[in-house]
Amino acid sequence: MKRIAFKLKLRPGRLAEYTRRHDEIWPEMASLIRASGVSDFRIWHDPDTDFLFCSQLREDDARADLIRSEALWRRWQADMAEFLVTRPDGLPQRWPLNQVFHLP
């Protein structure tokens, strides 16, 4: 297992609805995430910057990245696009974060 982390930028004033939608994540989307070998997926919000800090455990990067070819994943991303700063292709702009310390 490997932990990865990245950040996303939330659009101002969108936290409540973004949170509500994740509280009500589509069951089939949660199943797809798990089936891709991703677990312990967490999202935190920094209220000073509106950045979202995301972390997840992955069994395998290649397997986890295959989720991007799924129509369901693309629908979820399209549904979330109104909340996040996006790239020109409409997907969320992601900034990878590098681990600098770990205390097991």
> In which region does residue 90 sit, left (phi positive, over 0), alpha (psi from -120 to 50) or beta (all else)?
left
Euclidean distance between CA atoms 33 and 13, whole angstroms: 27
Check the CA dihedral 72-78-84-88 and report its sign. Answer: positive
Six-digit token string for 27: 């069951």
In the residue annotation, 22 being an active-site residue is answered as yes
Catalytic residue among 2, 22, 34, 63: 22
Residues labelled catalytic: 22
